[in-house]
Amino acid sequence: MRGASIDRRIRRSVVAKRVVVSQAAVREAARRSTRASYALEGHVVPDGFVRSAAAQRYLDELVQGRLRHQEEFAHRSSNLDTQ
Protein backbone atom coordinates (compact mmCIF):
# COMPACT_ATOMS: atom_id res chain seq x y z
CA MET A 1 0.00 0.00 0.00
CA ARG A 2 2.76 2.41 0.83
CA GLY A 3 4.24 2.15 -2.67
CA ALA A 4 0.93 3.14 -4.26
CA SER A 5 0.77 6.42 -2.34
CA ILE A 6 4.33 7.26 -3.41
CA ASP A 7 3.39 6.61 -7.06
CA ARG A 8 0.45 9.02 -6.78
CA ARG A 9 2.67 11.74 -5.33
CA ILE A 10 5.18 11.32 -8.13
CA ARG A 11 2.45 11.49 -10.77
CA ARG A 12 1.06 14.70 -9.26
CA SER A 13 4.47 16.35 -9.28
CA VAL A 14 5.00 15.55 -12.97
CA VAL A 15 1.77 17.23 -14.15
CA ALA A 16 2.50 20.67 -15.59
CA LYS A 17 0.83 23.63 -13.94
CA ARG A 18 -1.65 25.60 -16.02
CA VAL A 19 -0.82 29.24 -16.58
CA VAL A 20 -3.07 31.92 -18.02
CA VAL A 21 -1.31 33.56 -20.96
CA SER A 22 -2.42 36.78 -22.61
CA GLN A 23 -3.41 36.86 -26.27
CA ALA A 24 -0.54 39.28 -26.96
CA ALA A 25 1.97 36.82 -25.48
CA VAL A 26 0.60 34.03 -27.68
CA ARG A 27 0.89 36.23 -30.78
CA GLU A 28 4.46 37.21 -29.90
CA ALA A 29 5.43 33.56 -29.37
CA ALA A 30 3.89 32.65 -32.73
CA ARG A 31 5.74 35.53 -34.39
CA ARG A 32 9.07 34.42 -32.90
CA SER A 33 8.45 30.80 -33.86
CA THR A 34 7.55 31.75 -37.42
CA ARG A 35 10.65 33.90 -37.82
CA ALA A 36 12.85 31.12 -36.45
CA SER A 37 11.25 28.59 -38.80
CA TYR A 38 11.74 30.89 -41.79
CA ALA A 39 15.36 31.46 -40.82
CA LEU A 40 15.98 27.70 -40.66
CA GLU A 41 14.54 27.35 -44.17
CA GLY A 42 16.68 30.20 -45.47
CA HIS A 43 13.80 32.68 -45.82
CA VAL A 44 14.63 35.83 -43.89
CA VAL A 45 12.50 38.99 -43.77
CA PRO A 46 14.86 41.97 -43.85
CA ASP A 47 14.76 44.43 -40.96
CA GLY A 48 12.72 47.50 -41.80
CA PHE A 49 10.51 45.61 -44.27
CA VAL A 50 7.13 47.27 -44.75
CA ARG A 51 4.16 45.50 -46.33
CA SER A 52 2.46 47.12 -49.29
CA ALA A 53 -0.94 48.72 -48.68
CA ALA A 54 -2.63 46.04 -50.80
CA ALA A 55 -1.01 43.23 -48.80
CA GLN A 56 -2.03 44.86 -45.52
CA ARG A 57 -5.64 45.28 -46.73
CA TYR A 58 -5.70 41.60 -47.72
CA LEU A 59 -4.43 40.50 -44.30
CA ASP A 60 -6.91 42.80 -42.54
CA GLU A 61 -9.75 41.24 -44.55
CA LEU A 62 -8.59 37.76 -43.55
CA VAL A 63 -8.55 38.73 -39.88
CA GLN A 64 -12.00 40.34 -40.10
CA GLY A 65 -13.39 37.23 -41.80
CA ARG A 66 -11.90 35.03 -39.08
CA LEU A 67 -13.33 37.23 -36.34
CA ARG A 68 -16.75 37.24 -38.00
CA HIS A 69 -16.61 33.43 -38.26
CA GLN A 70 -15.69 33.13 -34.56
CA GLU A 71 -18.60 35.40 -33.58
CA GLU A 72 -21.05 33.35 -35.66
CA PHE A 73 -19.75 30.11 -34.15
CA ALA A 74 -20.06 31.50 -30.62
CA HIS A 75 -23.60 32.68 -31.36
CA ARG A 76 -24.58 29.25 -32.73
CA SER A 77 -23.01 27.51 -29.75
CA SER A 78 -24.88 29.71 -27.28
CA ASN A 79 -28.15 28.92 -29.09
CA LEU A 80 -27.46 25.20 -28.74
CA ASP A 81 -26.91 25.63 -25.00
CA THR A 82 -30.31 27.29 -24.52
CA GLN A 83 -32.28 24.62 -26.42
pLDDT of residue 62: 87
Dihedral sign of CA atoms 50, 70, 33, 23 in order: positive
pLDDT category at 5 given cuts 50, 70, 90 is low
* Tens-place pLDDT, residues 7-16: 666 666 666 7
**CA separation for the pair 36, 39 (Å, rounded):** 5
Asked if residue 18 lies in contact with residue 24, where contact means CB atoms within 8 angstroms, the answer is: no
Q: What percent of the chain has pLDDT over 90?
A: 23
Asked if residue 28 lies in contact with residue 35, where contact means CB atoms within 8 angstroms, the answer is: no
**CA separation for the pair 23, 29 (Å, rounded):** 10
pTM, entire model = 0.37
pLDDT of residue 6: 60
